[in-house]
């Protein structure tokens, strides 16, 4: 059974964990119940009214957060020729093809995001079983397979996140740091939920945004009133 620490349990007394709060109230509560001494990440969990078993109800996408994530991502770009220079000029940390494919095959993972140009995917595709389970495989659906590598690298560096519904219909995403002021966190949350609403599958019936919870790395979750986003 999961055991919770004393501070975690004490913070549950600060608010009603079963109540749904406005976004402003929820963020204020979150700051009060966040007790870690480091700058925690702020995360959002959205439960969607979809059945991911059906391909036409798979919700997946990417968005550049208005105020970034507060994290610095190391980006690996698989490319060749002029696109290598474009990626480097945009701020990519690692750029190349065969040498980096071999490094990954040998267990090298000193990167957070991967981008590839379409013309090298026949080579990068060999890494599917390695990068796929880690959520790092380039995918055209989220814009990480593209010839426009300069733009994509800059977006990642400035706070682009990717998301994909899990088998239970949940979307999880990091939307900033505890040190962000509430207005910045609010803008980032609204951006994510708005994008999810935009991506609503036409085959999804009934309530689409079923629940929204926000939390920090160490804090309890705070439920948000979903009608604020869907009304």
Is the model's pLDDT at 132 over the cut of 50?
Answer: yes
DSSP label at residue 174: E
Confidence of residue 2 (pLDDT cuts 50, 70, 90): low
Question: 91 and 204: one domain?
Answer: no
How far from the centroid of its chain's Cα atoms is residue 163's Cα? Answer: 5
Q: For residue 18, what is the domain's CATH number?
A: 3.30.190.20
Residue ranges making up the domain that contains 130: 75-158
pLDDT digits (tens, 9 = 90+) for 164-223: 999 999 999 999 999 999 999 999 999 999 999 999 999 998 999 999 999 999 888 999
Question: 84 and 147: one domain?
Answer: yes
The Cα–Cα gap between 129 and 132 comes to 6
pTM of the prediction?
A: 0.81
The Cα–Cα gap between 210 and 32 comes to 25
pLDDT digits (tens, 9 = 90+) for 32-80: 888 788 999 999 999 999 999 999 999 999 899 999 999 889 999 999 9
Question: 167 and 154: one domain?
Answer: no
Percent of the chain with pLDDT over 90: 81
Q: For residue 81, what is the domain's CATH number?
A: 3.40.50.790
The Cα–Cα gap between 219 and 209 comes to 23
């Amino acid at each position: 059974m999961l055991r919770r620490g004393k501070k975690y349990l004490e913070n549950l007394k600060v608010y009603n964990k079963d109540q749904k709060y406005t976004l402003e109230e929820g963020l204020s509560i979150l700051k009060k119940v966040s007790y870690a001494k480091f700058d925690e990440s702020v995360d959002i969990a959205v439960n969607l009214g979809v059945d991911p078993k059906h391909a036409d109800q798979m919700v997946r996408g990417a968005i550049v957060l208005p105020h970034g994530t507060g994290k610095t991502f190391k980006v690996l770009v698989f490319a060749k020729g002029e696109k290598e220079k474009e990626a480097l000029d945009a701020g990519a940390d690692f750029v190349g093809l065969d040498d980096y494919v071999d490094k990954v095959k040998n267990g090298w993972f000193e990167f957070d995001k991967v981008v590839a140009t379409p013309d090298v995917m026949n080579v990068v595709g060999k890494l599917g079983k390695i990068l796929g389970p880690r959520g790092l495989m380039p995918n055209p659906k989220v814009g990480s397979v593209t010839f426009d590598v300069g733009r994509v690298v800059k977006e990642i560096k400035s706070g682009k996140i990717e998301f994909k519904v899990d088998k239970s219909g949940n979307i999880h995403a990091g939307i900033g740091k505890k040190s962000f002021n509430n207005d910045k966190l609010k803008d980032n949350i609204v951006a994510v939920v708005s994008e999810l609403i935009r991506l609503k599958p036409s085959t999804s019936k009934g309530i689409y945004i079923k629940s929204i919870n926000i939390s920090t790395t160490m804090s309890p979750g705070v439920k948000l009133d979903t009608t604020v986003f869907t009304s």
